[in-house]
Structure 1
Amino acid sequence: MTDDNYTKILFRLHSTILEEITVETMWATVVNEAEGLYKLENIPFYLPLLAANDIVFAEYDEDEQMLTYRETIEYSGHSTVHVILMDETTDIKNVGKIFEELGCNWEGLNNKYFAMDIPALIDYRLVQARLQELKDKDVIDFAESSLAEGHQH
């Protein structure tokens, strides 16, 4: 994502996945530059309570030397789930494909860990059932890092 419409935003937040302060950068598009509003364009790997398409307020930070997240202005209705493969023989692409078929998107960090975006209109109960099924078979473990209101049942 090197297009002029994209910019990177730095996030420095406590990660519920890593259980420590984490720095992560995410791609965003400008919604209103004068007001510091940006739409997140990728899926957070470690950060809690954030999802693709959320609108955030960010401003240039002298210490960080880049645009830095300050607060979430509008939640997109998307959810973020983090998945780790527990079975060494399982191919991450095969697991990701299961969720693609349910309408989800995912980004792999390595061959054992990925972040998954569940769009607002997807029935999360179907996704959650597959997640739980794979967890029960010791194929994966997962964390529901940011569940949108529409996905909480």
Structure 2
Amino acid sequence: MNCDNPEDLVVETLWAIIIEKETGLYQIDNIPFYIPLISCGDIVFAEYDEAEERLVYRQTVKESGNSTIQIELLHDNDRELEIREIFREMGCESEGTAGGYFVLEVPFDMDYTAIKQKLEALRNDQIIDYAESCLSNLHKY
């Protein structure tokens, strides 16, 4: 990832499906925890980096249309599974760390309005805070 400020560098290992190894195309196969601007299902260009000794993301080639939302519980980490279940029932998968932080995937074909309303209600009740780390054009108002 190209960063002007080294302190902004984010290192995260992602799962990927090989689309075309010869040209470095891969499809992201999990919800990114920390890396902004990419979502599960995106097709990306990655190449082997000698210094890192692994494939390194270089750019997004095709967006999936999915959105990634980062969610942090503000006070009661024991409610993480309960909060994740609310969004699962609304049609959104999530991955968590069991430490009061998880990421939510909003599928490309889902209306984001109800999800956004629930996020805002939980934020207004001071239960969570959240960031739209990769908001698809399909989900922007």
AA in 1 matched with 2:19: V
Task: Give, in whole Å, the separation in 1 of the partners of 2:32 and 2:77.
Answer: 26
**Unmatched segments (≥5 aa) in structure 2:** none
Task: Give, in whole Å, the separation in 1 of the partners of 2:2 and 2:135.
Answer: 18
Tell whether 2:14 aligns with 1:26: yes
Residue number in structure 2 paired with 1:80: 68
Runs of 4 or more above 2 Å deviation:
none
Tell whether 2:43 aligns with 1:55: yes
- Greater share of residues in strand: 1
**1:92–1:86 distance in 2 versus 1, CA, 3 Å:** same
Tell whether 2:125 aligns with 1:142: no
Asked if 2 retains the 8 angstrom alpha-carbon contact of 1:81 and 1:145, the reply is yes
**Unmatched segments (≥5 aa) in structure 1:** 1-11
Task: Give, in whole Å, the separation in 2 of the partners of 1:82 and 1:13.
Answer: 22
Residue aligned with 1:34, SS: helix
Tell whether 2:100 aligns with 1:100: no
Give the number of equivalent residue pairs. Answer: 138
**Structure-1-length-normalised TM-score:** 0.86
Asked if 2 retains the 8 angstrom alpha-carbon contact of 1:37 and 1:56, the reply is yes
Residue number in structure 1 paired with 2:24: 36
User: CA offset at residue 89 of structure 1?
Assistant: 6.0
Asked if 2 retains the 8 angstrom alpha-carbon contact of 1:13 and 1:23, the reply is no
Residue number in structure 1 paired with 2:120: 132
Task: Give, in whole Å, the separation in 1 of the partners of 2:116 and 2:76.
Answer: 22
User: Between the two proteins, what is the percent identity of the paired residues?
Assistant: 41
Q: RMSD across aligned C-alpha pairs, in angstroms?
A: 1.4
Which shifted more, 107-116 or 91-100? 107-116
- CA-to-aligned-CA distance 1:48-78 (integer Å, 9 cap, x gap): 1010000000111111101111110000000
- CA-to-aligned-CA distance 1:20-66 (integer Å, 9 cap, x gap): 32111100000111111000001111111010000000111111101
**1:46–1:31 distance in 2 versus 1, CA, 3 Å:** same
**Structure-2-length-normalised TM-score:** 0.93
**1:135–1:64 distance in 2 versus 1, CA, 3 Å:** same
Residue aligned with 1:23, SS: coil
